[in-house]
Amino acid sequence: MFICLLISTCINHFEMHELNFKILSDALISSSFRHLGILTFQEAAQYICNLPYKRNVFKDNVLCVFDDGGGTCSTKHALLKTLAIENNVNELQLIVGIFRMNPFNTPQISSCLENYHLSYIPEAHCYLKYNHKILDFTGVSFLEKKFIVDLLDEFEIAPHQISDYKIARHQNFLSNWLNEHREISYSMEEIWKIREECIKILSKV
């Protein structure tokens, strides 16, 4: 039932935004999709959406999602953005959104947050935008309407920025957040470890 929900979510995105193009480029990512019999962007996004959520060891490798049979919000959407670039579709944006990760939009981490007496933690989520609308093909139980409500900030990045640059921006946001919320007694290192615990839980879902 969970997989069916994810498929339905992806289809609804396409019905709303009508983003599609034929994969014609001979570049690396395009060729990799065509080798799988995937000939359009919609088919590619559907395929990526249905792959498991898992952390990639070598996420700077553009083929890591194929090699590992899954990926994170960052590696999955960077792959689709690269596919668009290879096929001269420049309207598709790769976005990082900082949002309040809490028990309402991410119920899997409820116990973890409760153990540390936190109502939420700012998390960085990567997704695509087309015509100012969010396209999320992560394949975990994010519901767009819940995610948007808790959005704190967002910025556009390039596919090669999903590693060090994205982490630096996220940690800078967390540092400022801690300075603004003196009632939270955790250090930057401690809050990052808590965040890592949350992500590990999501990786096992």
The pLDDT of residue 197 is 95
Return the bridge partners of 125, or none: 97
Q: Is the pLDDT of residue 17 over 60?
A: no
Q: For Cα atoms 97, 200, 68, give the angle at the middle one, nearest 5 degrees.
A: 85
The pLDDT of residue 205 is 59
The pLDDT of residue 118 is 97
The pLDDT of residue 76 is 97
- Average pLDDT on 6-16 reads 46
Enumerate residues 6+ apart whose C-beta is below 8 A from 61.
Answer: 67
Q: Is the pLDDT of residue 200 over 80?
A: yes
Q: Is residue 131 left, alpha or beta, with left meaning phi > 0 and alpha meaning psi from -120 to 50?
A: left
75-120 pLDDT, tens digit each: 999 999 999 999 999 999 999 999 999 999 889 999 999 999 999 9
160-170 pLDDT, tens digit each: 999 999 999 99
Provide the pLDDT confidence category of residue 8 given band limits of 50, 70 and 90: very low
The dihedrals phi and psi of 165, each to the nearest 5 degrees, come to -65, -45
Q: What percent of the chain has pLDDT over 90?
A: 74
- Distance, in Å, from the CA atom of 200 to the CA atom of 10, rounded to the nearest integer, reads 24
Q: Is the pLDDT of residue 2 over 80?
A: no
- Which residue type sits at 115? N
Contact 155, 96 (CB under 8 A): yes
Helices (H), the chain: 2-17, 28-35, 41-50, 64-68, 73-86, 110-115, 144-149, 164-180, 188-203
Enumerate residues 6+ apart whose C-beta is below 8 A from 159.
Answer: 62, 78, 79, 81, 82, 85, 94
CA distances from 13 to 2, 7, 9, 131 (A): 17, 10, 6, 12
- Which residue type sits at 117? H
Give the number of C-alpha atoms closer than 13 A to the C-alpha of residue 129, restricted to the C-beta side.
Answer: 16
Both tokens of 107, joined, read: 């119920």
138-156 pLDDT, tens digit each: 886 554 556 788 999 999 9
Provide the pLDDT confidence category of residue 14 given band limits of 50, 70 and 90: low
- Distance, in Å, from the CA atom of 16 to the CA atom of 7, rounded to the nearest integer, reads 14
